[in-house]
């Protein structure tokens, strides 16, 4: 049979998605369900002085107005980064206090969505506002807390001794998630006090734990169901306040409640990429050997939690720099808690650092690709460990070749086409290989099929497909003979679909249980009275093309499984990397998110890539367009080039959007994000996306686990913004150090 792993396979969930058969959370409905609508605060700080719900409650169809006075008291939970499962420790409607613009202050339940929204829109709420709220990252704000610190060598001495120095500050704005699928959920209590929540979820098991904890329930009383997700990217990893509100409202009303959070209301009520600022110093010898790297950052967070995304530790793995000093800090602002967004730590950090690297190459008068070649580290500069595998320079070589980099004239403003300014830039893409753990169940059925259960989520990355490929490979089946069921907290525990961990962890778990099921099948077949394999050595049996064989004896898998006393074979187990401490891997069973890497005990693992882009700039209006992009990546074993390609391409598409368009604009008078809809919060459209070439290099990695696959879900976004900023510099001679890169930055 042809190899299944490593070949391009179409997505198994594709037909269901394009025909509409796939049922997303908000496609569900229940008899007698009520529709919820949110009332959000127009003030950022203060309190709710009064809510007069009399008139609204009398409107047709209105069933309940829930405010802080009637909201059931919730138990505490912590944000995921602090070991909990919540988006924020701040509990919705916990009191009359208002802590950010757009905080929910009431929920209206009605028979129809239109009734609920209308009532929510006219509910009279009196606010007592307090001045002084801040939603932006204030200029020159000192960090209030250190969240990351790393020293390698003597960075100050190396800086002093450096012949060539670059000092620069960079800044990235807050950004909000705008996947197609809106936030929301359907919450349903049963007569026994159990709660089922249909909610788009990157972590069914984690959300179950968080919801159960909030309502003081044992975990097995709650079920979170999320087979399909219409885009998540980190925004659907944790229990949002709005999910808790829907569950609470359903409890009060005694009826199922569906809440669809509108696009506009989704901005303040969900997690976002916080604003950040980096102060960088790079020192190098005149020959282009890096010596010093200072990295001081300020990262926006909220008042109530320490959610932050320091990226310095990853940057310290990019090049061989003997002196490094990294200090990362928090700045508190009056916003809802920030949260994960595709490569949350890496995206802003890599923009800043890879821009600075380019600035240094310019200062040295050196080809930026050559400059990186001179600073390639033989081992992990932080821990001194060997790389599990590292192919950055190969990525640059191949990328340069595909792009035609050798044709670049390096001086800024030296390339034009049809009167337009042309700029070519490159940057490194990087994402750490986080090594998690997962469990899975595999069942062989009397129809000759395999069924895989795992609570892991397919957030559009292709998990359904690669898990089927892995099971099929181990069992000698075609992928269509494997049914994979995911995204249900009733299934075996898995890590959050975050940190690009799912392919490796759940893939290894499925590989492991598939092998166990096959072994159990062989063992059992040798014990079937009158069966063709009776008395044979289990090791002499094989399974391929749906047939069990040993010597001349053959039996179809369907017949073989049917012949067993139980009519099925089942295996359940957990896979954990041997270097993950047992104490850590056991956390999986308590809805933890155990995760090792990038440094393990004996190696350090990251995925690398190289991106090359071309910008075309109108010499008068300075409109920035991108005719082409090239990305070359090495990510260990590529399980399915087709789904991997989509991830990398999608990452670069968002990278462009992140670099040129996306910013949540802060109104300083209201401490609010003001462009809260898709007409004003611009994400890239088709016409913005150029010829986009993605290539994956062969890379063998034996250290990270049996299937040897590094996560590729996030790396694609990381190099695009600096590559574009570097290209804009090349085209115009103007260095833009602030995202998004806009016309006004290069007008003069």
Task: State the residues that interact with another protein by CB under 8 A.
Answer: 40, 42, 102, 114, 117-118, 121, 264, 618, 620-625, 660-661, 665-670, 672, 674-677, 679-680, 682, 684-688, 740, 742-744, 747-748
Alpha carbons within 13 angstroms on the beta-carbon side of residue 17 total 16
Output 118 or 228, the one with its CB closest to another protein.
118
Distance CA 104, CA 98 (A): 9
- Which CB sits closer to another protein, 78 or 625? 625
- Choose between 722 and 740: whose C-beta lies nearer to another protein: 740
C-beta of 657: minimal distance to another protein in Å?
9
User: In this complex, which beta carbon is closest to another protein, that of residue 271 or of residue 672?
Assistant: 672
Measured from the CB atom, is 135 or 517 closer to another protein?
Answer: 135
Q: What is the dihedral of CA 643, 645, 646, 648, to 10 degrees?
A: 130
Which of residues 566 and 620 has its CB atom nearest to another protein in the complex? Answer: 620
In this structure, the number of other CB atoms found within 10 A of the CB of residue 229 comes to: 24
Residues 6+ apart with CB under 8 A from 322: 152, 153, 158, 291, 292
How is residue 484 written in tokens?
A: 């994979």
Please, what is the minimum distance in Å from the beta carbon of residue 661 to another protein? Answer: 6
Least Cβ distance, residue 588 to another protein (angstroms): 42
**From the CB of 420, what's the least distance to another protein, in Å?**
11
Strand stretches in 257-339, DSSP E = 257-260, 272-273, 276-284, 290-301, 323-332
Residue in 291, 287, 274 with CA at minimum distance from that of residue 141: 274
CA distance 711 to 622: 37
C-beta closer to another protein: residue 394 or 625:
625
Sign of torsion over alpha carbons 724, 726, 732, 735: positive
CA angle 428, 429, 433 (to 5 degrees): 130
CB nearer to another protein: pick between 536 and 734: 734
Q: Min. distance of Cβ 631 from another protein in angstroms?
A: 20
Q: Which two tokens stand for residue 532?
A: 């063709």
Pick between residue 48 and residue 607 the one whose CB is nearest to another protein.
Answer: 48
CB 92 within 8 A of CB 104: yes
Task: Determine contact, residues 499/436, Cβ cutoff 8 Å.
Answer: yes
**What's the CA gap between 246 and 240, in Å, rounded?**
10
Shortest separation between residue 43's beta carbon and another protein, angstroms: 9
> Tokens in use for 91?
């509990």
Taking the least distance from each CB to another protein, the nearer of 95 and 618 is 618
Are 339 and 235 in contact by the 8 Å Cβ rule? The answer is yes
Q: Which tokens belong to 217?
A: 């329930």
* Closer Cβ to another protein, 3 or 679, answer by number: 679
Strands 34-40 and 257-260: parallel
* Other Cβ atoms closer than 10 A to 682: 16
Nearer to another protein, 586 or 625 (CB): 625
Closest to another protein by CB, 334 vs 380, is 334
Asked whether the CA dihedral 154, 160, 162, 164 is positive or negative, the reply is positive
d(CA 287, CA 492): 55
Which C-beta is closer to another protein: that of 43 or that of 207? 43
Distance in Å, CB of 303 to another protein, minimum: 21
List, as one string, the DSSP characters of 354-403: HHHHHHHHHHHT--HHHHHHTT--SS-TTT-PPBS---HHHHHHHHHHHH
Please classify residue 373 by burial: count the beta carbons closer than 10 Å to its beta carbon, then call 0-12 exposed, 13-18 middle and 19+ buried: middle
> In the bound complex, what is the minimum distance in angstroms from residue 748's beta carbon to another protein?
7
Rounded to whole angstroms, the Cα distance separating 347 from 349 reads 6
Measured from the CB of residue 423, what is the shortest distance to another protein in angstroms? Answer: 17
**Cα(33)–Cα(14) distance, integer angstroms:** 30
Q: Smaller CB distance to another protein: residue 365 or 627?
A: 627
In three-state secondary structure terms, 331 is strand
Return the number of the residue (307 or 684) whose C-beta is nearest another protein.
684
Least distance to another protein, CB of residue 706, Å:
45
- Backbone φ and ψ of 358, nearest 5°: -65, -40
659 neighbors 721 (Cβ within 8 angstroms): yes
Q: Least distance in Å: CB of 653 to another protein? A: 13
Q: How far is the CB of 105 from another protein (least distance, A)?
A: 11
Neighbours of 221 (CB within 10 A): 18
Are 110 and 61 in contact by the 8 Å Cβ rule? The answer is yes
If the CB atoms of residues 105 and 366 are measured against another protein, the closer one turns out to be: 105
**Which lies closer to another protein via its Cβ, residue 362 or residue 676?**
676
Q: What is the DSSP string of 32-50?
A: T-EEEEEEE-S-SSEEEEE
Q: Where are the strands (E) in 406-504, listed by range?
A: 416-417, 420-432, 435-436, 438-444, 450-453, 482-485
Tell me the C-alpha distance between 253 and 743, whole Å: 52
Which residues make Cβ contacts (< 8 Å) with residue 658, sequence separation at least 6?
175, 347, 717, 720, 721, 739, 740
Residue 390 corresponds to which tokens in the numbers above? Answer: 């590292």
To another protein, the closest distance from the beta carbon of 190 in angstroms equals: 34
Nearest distance, CB of residue 335 and another protein, angstroms: 15
Nearest approach, Cβ of 254 to another protein (angstroms)? 28
Shortest separation between residue 184's beta carbon and another protein, angstroms: 17
Q: Which two tokens stand for residue 185?
A: 């959920």
How near is the Cβ of 30 to another protein at its closest, in Å?
Answer: 24
Nearest approach in angstroms of CB 91 to another protein is 22
Nearest Cα neighbor of 284 from 320, 336, 337 is 320
Residue with tokens 């044709």: 407
């Amino acid at each position: 049979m042809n190899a299944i792993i490593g070949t391009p396979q179409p997505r198994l969930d594709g037909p269901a998605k394009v025909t509409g058969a796939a049922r997303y959370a908000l496609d569900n409905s229940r008899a007698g369900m009520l529709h919820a609508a949110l009332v959000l605060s127009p003030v950022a700080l203060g309190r709710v002085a009064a809510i007069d719900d009399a008139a609204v409650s009398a409107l047709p169809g209105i069933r309940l107005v829930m405010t802080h006075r009637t909201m059931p008291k919730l138990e505490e939970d912590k944000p995921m980064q602090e070991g909990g499962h919540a988006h924020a420790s701040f509990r919705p409607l916990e009191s009359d206090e208002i802590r950010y613009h757009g905080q929910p202050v009431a929920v209206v339940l009605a028979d129809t969505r239109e009734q609920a929204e209308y009532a929510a829109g006219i509910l009279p709420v009196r606010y007592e506002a307090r001045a002084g709220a801040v939603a932006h990252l204030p200029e020159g704000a000192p960090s209030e807390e250190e969240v990351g610190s790393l020293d390698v060598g003597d960075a100050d001495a190396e800086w002093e001794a450096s012949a060539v120095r670059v000092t620069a500050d960079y800044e990235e704005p807050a950004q909000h998630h705008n996947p197609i699928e809106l936030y929301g959920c359907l919450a349903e209590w049963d007569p026994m006090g159990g709660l089922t929540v249909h909610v788009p979820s990157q972590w069914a098991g984690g959300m179950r734990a968080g919801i159960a904890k909030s309502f003081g329930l044992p975990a097995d009383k709650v079920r979170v169901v999320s087979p399909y997700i219409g885009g998540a990217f980190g925004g659907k990893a944790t229990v949002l306040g709005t999910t808790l509100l829907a569950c609470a409202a359903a409890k009060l009303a005694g009826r199922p409640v569906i809440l669809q959070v509108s696009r506009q209301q989704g901005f303040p009520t969900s997690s976002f990429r916080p604003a950040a600022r980096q102060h960088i110093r790079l020192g190098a010898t005149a020959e282009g050997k890096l010596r010093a790297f200072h990295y001081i950052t300020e990262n926006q967070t909220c008042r109530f939690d320490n959610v932050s995304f320091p990226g310095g530790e990853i940057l310290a793995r990019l090049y061989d720099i003997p002196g490094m000093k990294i200090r990362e800090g928090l700045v508190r602002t009056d916003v809802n808690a920030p949260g994960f967004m595709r490569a949350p730590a890496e995206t802003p950090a890599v923009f800043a650092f890879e821009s600075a690297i380019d600035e240094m190459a310019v200062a040295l008068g050196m080809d930026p690709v050559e400059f990186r070649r001179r600073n390639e580290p033989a081992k992990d500069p932080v821990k001194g460990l060997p790389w599990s595998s590292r192919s950055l320079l190969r990525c640059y070589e191949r990328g340069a070749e595909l792009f035609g980099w050798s044709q670049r004239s390096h001086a800024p403003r030296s390339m034009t086409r049809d009167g337009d300014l042309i700029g070519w830039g490159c940057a490194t893409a990087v994402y750490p290989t986080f090594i998690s753990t997962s469990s899975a169940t595999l069942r062989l059925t009397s129809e000759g099929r395999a069924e895989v259960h795992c609570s892991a989520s397919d957030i559009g990355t292709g998990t359904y497909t690669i898990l089927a490929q892995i099971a099929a490979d181990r069992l000698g089946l075609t992928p269509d003979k494997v049914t994979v069921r995911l995204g249900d907290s009733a299934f075996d525990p898995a890590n959050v679909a975050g940190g690009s961990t799912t392919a490796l962890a759940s893939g290894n778990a499925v590989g492991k249980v598939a092998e166990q099921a096959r072994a159990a099948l062989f063992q059992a077949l040798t014990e079937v009275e009158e069966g063709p394999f009776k008395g044979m050595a289990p090791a002499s049996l094989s399974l391929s093309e749906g047939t069990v064989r040993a010597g001349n004896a053959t039996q179809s898998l369907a017949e073989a499984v049917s012949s067993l006393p139980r009519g099925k074979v089942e295996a359940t187990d957990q896979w954990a990397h041997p270097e993950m401490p047992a104490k850590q891997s056991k956390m999986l069973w308590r809805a933890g998110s155990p995760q090792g890497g990038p440094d393990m005990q004996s190696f350090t693992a990251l995925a690398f890539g190289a991106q090359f882009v071309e910008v075309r700039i109108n010499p008068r209006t300075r409109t920035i367009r991108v005719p082409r992009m090239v990305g070359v990546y090495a990510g260990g074993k590529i399980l399915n080039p087709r789904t991997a390609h989509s991830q990398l391409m999608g990452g670069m598409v968002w990278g462009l959007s992140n670099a040129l368009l996306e910013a949540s604009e802060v109104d300083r008078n209201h401490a609010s994000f003001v462009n809260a809809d898709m007409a004003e919060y611009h994400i890239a459209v088709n016409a913005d996306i150029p010829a986009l070439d993605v290539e994956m290099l062969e890379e063998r990695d034996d250290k990270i686990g049996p299937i040897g696959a590094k996560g590729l879900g996030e790396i694609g976004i990381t190099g695009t913004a600096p590559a574009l900023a570097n290209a804009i510099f090349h085209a115009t001679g103007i260095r833009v150090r602030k995202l998004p890169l806009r016309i006004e930055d290069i007008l003069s």
